[in-house]
């Protein structure tokens, strides 16, 4: 059942709609739980589109196993997706910096407010992101330190390789997930893949995790695959490799590999001079969970993140 969550008028007699697909169980009990899958806040992140499609398809195909409500929101920022823009095009605004929004604010703030009102009260919300066009991420759940105790048992069910527990001071209060958690609605952020692309294998991996989570919440009675045990960031230390020059980066380490201290991650070359200007190596032994996908780099560009000490 496709439902409209919010709509605002556009300048030339058109309307912007934010929609969700509500999939109801064959028998809806009063105690039925509700799980929300949201994505498309950043219009250049498309990995979640496949997850929404395939989740909806499977739930409808095996409808008899559904025991709760699943709401699927593929496009929180539909104008961004349509125009290949990360933010909301008309405002050039990062939509994940305006939550919880405002009922009588600008159009963008009103949309954020309407989305919040629709999600608050759910038993779980999963917000799927896909990095950006520059970096490729291993499938991971990100939770902030302040809600880690409550969220970690659920985060571990999502069948990702990695769970990153962020320190409190790096938490962005204006994100959707932070606002939902602050309002008492548990919300997990998934980051995986890279911007403007769909990595089907990552989507399938996460789907197995979403079904495991649905089963844990008694929303799904069908078969599930046991989720893999993720590495938790608190088991090690996240180290970062950045460029200290301008040029063109090409990787030689494999994304998701376990690298050794001193092992080469890639090189930066100068195409005009025909010279290698930097060779970048890992500062520690660990899991290479973020690797630069976009070749052009400047001084300070992020190249890689490694979870040091990870097994
Ligand atoms: Zn994002």
Measured in Å, residue 222 CA sits from the centre of ligand 1 at: 31
Measured in Å, residue 131 CA sits from the centre of ligand 1 at: 6
Measured in Å, residue 196 CA sits from the centre of ligand 1 at: 11
pLDDT at 301: 98
pLDDT at 66: 98
pLDDT at 311: 53
pLDDT at 8: 94
If you compute the radius of gyration of the chain from its CA atoms, what whole number of angstroms results? 20
pLDDT at 133: 95
Give the residues of the chain that fall short of pLDDT 50. Answer: none
* pLDDT digit string, tens, across residues 99-129: 999 999 999 999 999 999 999 999 999 999 9
Measured in Å, residue 275 CA sits from the centre of ligand 1 at: 35
Find the distance separating the first CA and the last CA of the chain, reported in whole Å.
45
């Amino acid at each position: 059942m496709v439902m409209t969550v919010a709509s605002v008028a556009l300048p030339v007699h058109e309307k912007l709609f934010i929609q969700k697909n509500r999939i109801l169980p064959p028998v809806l009990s009063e105690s039925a739980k509700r799980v929300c899958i949201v994505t498309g806040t950043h219009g250049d992140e498309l990995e979640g589109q496949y997850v929404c499609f395939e989740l909806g398809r499977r739930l409808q195909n095996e409808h008899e196993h559904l025991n709760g409500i699943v709401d699927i929101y593929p496009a929180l920022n539909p104008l961004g997706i349509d125009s290949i823009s990360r933010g909301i095009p008309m405002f050039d605004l990062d939509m994940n910096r305006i939550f919880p929004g405002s009922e009588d604010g600008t159009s963008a703030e009103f949309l954020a407010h309407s989305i919040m009102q629709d999600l608050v009260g759910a038993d779980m919300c999963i917000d799927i992101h896909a990095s950006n066009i520059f970096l490729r991420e291993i499938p991971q759940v990100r939770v902030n330190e302040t809600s880690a105790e409550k969220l970690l048992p659920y985060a571990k069910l999502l069948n990702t390789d990695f769970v990153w527990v962020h320190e409190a001071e790096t938490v962005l209060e204006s994100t959707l997930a932070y606002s939902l958690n602050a309002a008492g609605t548990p919300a997990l952020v998934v980051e995986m893949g890279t911007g403007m692309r769909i990595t089907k294998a990552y989507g399938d991996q996460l789907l197995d995790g979403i079904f495991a989570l649905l089963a844990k919440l008694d929303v799904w009675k069908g078969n599930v695959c046991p989720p893999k045990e993720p590495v938790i960031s608190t088991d090690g230390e996240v180290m970062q490799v950045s460029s200290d020059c301008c040029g063109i980066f090409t990787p030689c380490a494999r994304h998701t590999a376990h690298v050794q201290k001193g092992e080469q991650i890639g090189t930066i070359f100068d195409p005009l001079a025909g010279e290698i200007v930097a060779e970048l190596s890992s500062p520690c032994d660990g899991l290479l969970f973020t690797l630069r996908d976009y070749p052009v780099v400047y001084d300070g560009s992020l190249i890689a993140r490694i979870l040091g000490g990870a097994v």
